[in-house]
């Protein structure tokens, strides 16, 4: 377990380029299993979750070549199906959420997959019903193996069908798409998740020979094909990292430029920051955040207190609410943060309260923040990062606080943010990494 020692009060100044998107990369790397041909992927983030997934692919027999720091090629021409029944595979799967998306491609191409309990953030119940029901509807059978503590999934043949998903699950939709592209006949997925990362997956699959209609909508029609071939794909910039940097810049009174953000793929996020009182200038495909001496939270048009709530795309991502929450503590005005999707993601506010923030945790899903308008800057403290996004929120709080804070368990931050300490120190932060 490593620790960040963060000296607060330093303003940032300069340019920063967002990393490739973690949650897109997890889907795309799993999709490389769908073809025996070579697939080259650019802009892969160098983060713990992705490196773990790549090492699992290697152990499954995928030939992985690192072409440059963020570009790899993958060739799944000779897969060792025995590996996926080993205790090692089961243990590694439990270290990240993305491993759940091996199921769709494996069952589509090899008729066999093993699904141990996947890992990922411990942020409340994270059910997999959508994955199971969808893949089962395509004709695969799930059987729980009590010795392995994992499901075995078998299918002689997958057959296209109509399905209305019980919820617009992101990884569930990706898994079902990856199974359906090689199924016989036509699959219709209604209530599909449709965020840019799912769109990117669909576009890559189409370049590999898949036939998918309705990309970008919640109604996908997939005409199954016999086989897929190789391609090259570039991962989008990580919208959650972009949002984290916007919030960090405002809260620390910094002037920074975010380079090449793929603005049109950011959805409602930039406007949501504007409603928090943060000024953003869009220059080409860059976002400039000018130095803020203060910012004031908007109200709704009827004058009532603003709420930021998560919703499936094109709503606001749940992964950004921890950032909105911490940034609101130093705004003028009040806001309700309503985390509808996950029930254990707001408990980190206790630490912000210790630092002097005015927050009432109304229940596990809702926190009311009374911004102090920088009258009382936060005080440094010691904290433990419980999940990726609480971790980055704690880092933002520490960077804006008076004094030196310690953030333990920063592996949680490293799961999703590439070399965050080095990249922020390069533009003026003072963050020291200590390995315990
Ligand atoms: C590896 C990866 O890509 N992880 C992301 C993915 O996780 P993941 O794919 O696991 O999340 P899901 O989309 O399945 O669901 C997230 C949560 O929202 C609930 N839910 C979902 C859809 C819906 O219409 N109503 C609803 O209540 C689910 O029950 C669950 O509690 O999507 C989440 C939601 O954007 C993000 O937080 C995760 O970062
Ligand atoms: C919840 C997240 O990730 P995961 O689904 O990988 O746990 C996240 O990225 O905020």
Q: How many helices (H) and strands (E) does the chain have?
A: 14, 23
Nearest to 89 by CA among 112, 67, 70, 72: 112
Distance CA 426, CA 379 (A): 24
Which two structure tokens, joined as six digits, stand for 63? 């030939």
Distance CA 120, CA 202 (A): 24
**304 Cα: distance to centroid of ligand 2 (angstroms):** 32
Question: Cα 210–49–423 angle (5° rounding)?
Answer: 110
Closest C-alpha residue for ligand 2 atom 10: 319
Say whether pTM exceeds 0.95.
Answer: yes
Which two structure tokens, joined as six digits, stand for 286? 């860059």
CB atoms under 10 Å from CB of 368, counted, come to 17
The helix/strand/coil state of 56 is helix
- Matching CATH topology for 2-19+237-435 and 22-234? yes
Distance CA 228, CA 167 (A): 28
Number of residues that make up the chain? 436
Residues of the chain with pLDDT under 50: none
22-234 adopts what CATH topology?
Answer: UDP-n-acetylglucosamine1-carboxyvinyl-transferase; Chain (3.65.10)
Task: Find out whether the beta carbon of 317 lies less than 6 Å from any atom of ligand 1.
Answer: yes
2-19+237-435 adopts what CATH topology?
Answer: UDP-n-acetylglucosamine1-carboxyvinyl-transferase; Chain (3.65.10)
Q: Residue ranges of the domains in the chain?
A: 2-19+237-435, 22-234
* ipTM field: 0.98
pLDDT score, position 126? 84
pLDDT score, position 147? 85
pLDDT score, position 311? 98
The helix/strand/coil state of 231 is strand
Distance CA 404, CA 422 (A): 18
Sequence ranges of the binding site? 22-23, 97, 319, 341
Nearest to 355 by CA among 322, 333, 380: 380
Distance CA 302, CA 292 (A): 26
pLDDT score, position 96? 85
**167 Cα: distance to centroid of ligand 1 (angstroms):** 9
pLDDT score, position 436? 77
pLDDT score, position 367? 98
Distance CA 300, CA 315 (A): 17
Task: Find out whether the beta carbon of 319 lies less than 6 Å from any atom of ligand 2.
Answer: yes
pLDDT score, position 118? 76
298 catalytic? Reply is no
Which residues does residue 4 pair with via DSSP β-bridges, in sequence order? Answer: 407, 433
């Amino acid at each position: 377990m490593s620790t960040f020692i963060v000296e607060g009060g330093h303003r940032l100044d300069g340019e920063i380029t967002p990393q490739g998107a973690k949650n897109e990369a997890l889907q795309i790397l799993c999709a490389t299993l769908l073809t025996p041909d070579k697939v080259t992927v650019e802009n892969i983030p160098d983060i713990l979750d992705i490196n773990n997934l790549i090492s699992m692919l290697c152990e499954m027999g995928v030939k992985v070549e690192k072409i440059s720091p963020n570009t790899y090629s993958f060739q799944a021409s000779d897969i060792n199906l025995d590996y996926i029944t080993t205790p090692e595979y089961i243990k590694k799967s439990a270290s990240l959420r993305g491993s759940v998306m091996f199921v769709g491609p494996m069952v589509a191409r090899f008729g066999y997959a093993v699904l141990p309990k996947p890992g990922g953030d411990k942020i409340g119940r994270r059910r997999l019903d959508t994955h199971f029901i969808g893949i089962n509807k395509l004709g695969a059978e799930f059987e729980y193996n009590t010795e392995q503590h994992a499901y075995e999934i078998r299918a002689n043949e997958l057959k296209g069908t109509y399905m209305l998903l019980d919820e617009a699950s992101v990884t569930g939709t990706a898994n079902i798409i990856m199974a359906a592209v090689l199924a016989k006949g036509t699959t219709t997925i209604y209530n599909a998740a449709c965020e840019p990362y799912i769109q990117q997956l669909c576009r890559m699959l189409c370049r590999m020979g898949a036939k998918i209609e309705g990309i970008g909508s919640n109604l996908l029609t997939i005409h199954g094909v016999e086989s897929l071939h190789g391609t090259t794909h570039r991962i989008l910039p990580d919208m959650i990292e972009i949002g984290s940097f916007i919030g960090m810049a405002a809260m620390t009174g910094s002037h920074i430029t975010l380079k090449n953000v793929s603005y049109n793929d950011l959805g409602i996020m930039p406007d949501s920051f504007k409603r928090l009182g943060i000024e953003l200038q869009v220059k080409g495909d860059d976002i400039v955040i000018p130095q803020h001496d203060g910012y004031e939270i908007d109200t709704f048009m009827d004058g009532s207190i603003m709420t930021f709530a998560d919703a499936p795309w094109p709503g606001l991502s749940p992964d950004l609410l921890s950032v909105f929450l911490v940034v609101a503590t130093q705004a003028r005005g009040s806001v309700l943060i309503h985390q509808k999707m996950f029930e254990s993601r707001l408990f980190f506010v206790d630490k912000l309260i210790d630092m002097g923030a005015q927050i009432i945790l109304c229940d596990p899903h809702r926190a009311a923040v009374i911004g102090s308008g920088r009258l009382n800057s936060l005080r440094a403290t010691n904290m433990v990062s419980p999940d990726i996004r609480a971790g980055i929120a704690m880092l933002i709080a520490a960077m804006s606080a008076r004094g030196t804070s310690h953030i333990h368990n920063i592996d949680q931050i490293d799961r999703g943010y590439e070399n965050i300490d080095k990249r922020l120190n390069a533009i003026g932060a003072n963050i020291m990494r200590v390995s315990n």
